[in-house]
Structure 1
Amino acid sequence: MNDNIRHPNVRLIGSDGAQLGVVSTDEAKEKAYGEGLDLVEVSANADPPVCRIMNYDKFRYEQKKKTQEAKKKQSIVETKEIKFRPKTEEHDLNFKIKNIKKFLGQKNKVKITMRFRGREIVYSQSIGLEAMNKIAEALQEDAIILQPPKMEGRQLVMFVGPK
């Protein structure tokens, strides 16, 4: 901006947005100072570079406001995890399903993990898949299954997301 612009000629845009044509950098600075504003380089890659007459502090302030507004509007999707074992009782399983529904209500994804210890791994395809299918059935109205049950090492993993 202002004295840091090193190009001999620039394409000038006025404070009202009108094109003023290609002028020398010194002439552009004089016009900007005459209006009590700054000469700001908008596009350095163009030939000749594009400069605009504007209040630089106000421009920076508005840019900062736009980025803050964009941050407010963005939603962060977290991945929550619920762990259980093949021998988890019916009541505990229902309680965990209730928690999964709560997480889905908050628009979060949920990773459902069934951990197998020792010789329990033998039941991974029978009891494990049965329990996972039961959970998927209970969540049918509230969630979509992003990844069906899949073995990862000694655990069976399933991802669900909000509808």
Structure 2
Amino acid sequence: MGIVSTKEAQKMADDKSLDLVKVAPQAKPPVCRIMDYGKYKYEQAKKEKEAKKNQKIINIKEIRLSPNIEEHDMQVKANQAIKFIKNGDKVKVTLRFRGRQLSNIGLGRKVMDEFKEMMAEHTVVEKAAKMEGRQLIMFLVPKAQ
């Protein structure tokens, strides 16, 4: 409609029984629109709700190992991790060293590599095994289909 005075614009909106809404108040002159504001807010809320419904929340689940874990125990942990992966979650594999175990980090890396091999058909390594303090940490994510 071009540049119109505020009073005129308000009168035009009242004639159509709609609202005068500032779209860009920082512009010179401010940009306004004549619309049903209640309907506009309702549609915005509906779009936000739809977007929220479609998004997938990814959780991080943790599996804890130790350097001297037995084969069957590791298989149980791997099955648990596979269950988490199938739900679409990331898995954080933590191997904690206690006391004198810290002097034998190679054993821990070997356990992590074995666990990674067990999970190979279901997961991809997002972050390789890395020492952080007294822990060896690795992140696994589901394979893309």
Q: TM-score, normalization: structure 2?
A: 0.94
2:81 aligned with 1:95: no
Runs of 4 or more consecutive aligned structure 1 residues displaced over 3 Å after TM superposition: none
Instruction: Quote the RMSD (CA, aligned, Å).
Output: 1.0
- Alpha-carbon distance in structure 2 between the residues aligned to 1:84 and 1:137: 15
Which one of 127, 130, 140 corresponds to residue 147 of structure 1? Answer: 127
Which one of 103, 107, 111 corresponds to residue 131 of structure 1? Answer: 111
- Displacement of 1:21 after TM fit? 1.1
Partner SS state of residue 2, structure 2? strand
- Alpha-carbon distance in structure 1 between the residues aligned to 2:119 and 2:86: 12
Larger radius of gyration: 1
- Displacement of 1:115 after TM fit? 0.9
Equivalent residue, structure 2, for 1:105: 86
Equivalent residue, structure 2, for 1:83: 64
2:25 aligned with 1:41: no
| Cα deviation 1:107-137 (Å, max 9, x = unaligned) | 1111101111111112212x21111111111
Q: List gaps (5 residues or longer) in structure 1.
A: 1-19
- Alpha-carbon distance in structure 2 between the residues aligned to 1:143 and 1:71: 27
- Alpha-carbon distance in structure 1 between the residues aligned to 2:115 and 2:30: 61
| Cα deviation 1:26-79 (Å, max 9, x = unaligned) | 000001000011100011122211111111111111111111111111111111
Equivalent residue, structure 2, for 1:24: 5
Q: List gaps (5 residues or longer) in structure 2.
A: none
